[in-house]
Chain A
Amino acid sequence: MRSSVVGQLIRKDLVLYWKPIFTATAAAAAALALVLAGGETPVFVGVILFFIALILAGHMLPLMGIANERKKQNLAFLMSLPISSIQYTTAKLISSLILFLIPWLTAVIVGVWIIDTRGIFPPGVLPDALILAFLPLLGFCLITGAVLVGETEGWGIAANVFCNIVYPFFWYFMLKVPALMANVKSPTVVWNSASLTILAWEFALAPLMLGLTYFIQSRKRDFV
Chain B
Amino acid sequence: MSDPAIELSGVRKNYKYFSLDNIHLTVPEGQIMGLIGPNGAGKSTTIRIILGLVHQDSGEVRVLGHRMPAEQIAAKWDIGFASEDMRLYESLTIGWHMDFMRRIYPKWDAAYARLLLKRFGLRADQKVKGLSHGQRVKATLLMVLARKPKLLVLDEPTTGLDPVARHEILRELTAVMADEGRSVLFSSHNTHDVEQISDRVTFIDRGRIIDSMDKEVYLERWRRLHLEVPHGVELPVLPGIIGVRRDGRLAIATANAFVPDLAHAYESSGARVHSVENMTLEEIFVANVEYSREEVEA
Encode contact with B along A60-82: 1 for CB under 8 Å, 0 otherwise: 00000000000011101101111
A-B contact pairs, 28 of them (CB 8 A): A2-B104, A5-B104, A12-B100, A16-B92, A72-B90, A73-B87, A74-B87, A74-B88, A74-B89, A76-B85, A76-B86, A79-B53, A80-B51, A80-B79, A80-B81, A80-B82, A80-B86, A80-B144, A82-B104, A83-B73, A84-B52, A84-B73, A85-B53, A221-B55, A222-B53, A222-B54, A222-B55, A224-B53
Closest to A85 in B: B53
CA A199 to CA B83, docked complex, whole Å: 48
Looking at chain A's contact residues, the main secondary structure is: loop
Contact between B83 and A76, CB atoms less than 8 A apart = yes
Interface residues of A, count at CB 8 A: 25
Residue A89 CB within 8 A of the other chain: no
Residue A23 CB within 8 A of the other chain: no
Which residues of B are found within 8 Å of A79, using beta-carbon distances?
51, 53
**Chain B residues proximal to chain A, CB less than 8 Å:** 48, 51-55, 72-74, 76-77, 79-83, 85-92, 96, 100, 103-104, 106, 140, 143-144
Contact between A77 and B53, CB atoms less than 8 A apart = no
Contact between B100 and A8, CB atoms less than 8 A apart = yes
Which residues of A are found within 8 Å of B81, using beta-carbon distances?
80
CA A73 to CA B140, docked complex, whole Å: 12
Which residues of A are found within 8 Å of B74, using beta-carbon distances?
82
B161 to chain A, nearest CB (A): 17
Q: A3-B103, A82-B73, A87-B73 are in contact. Are A77 and B54 (CB under 8 A)?
A: no
- Give the contacting residue for B76; candidates A15, A72, A80; CB below 8 A: A80
Contact between B88 and A77, CB atoms less than 8 A apart = yes
B17 to chain A, nearest CB (A): 15
Given contacts A8-B100, A77-B86, A224-B48, 7 further A-B contacts (CB under 8 A): A2-B106, A5-B104, A15-B96, A77-B140, A80-B79, A82-B73, A222-B48
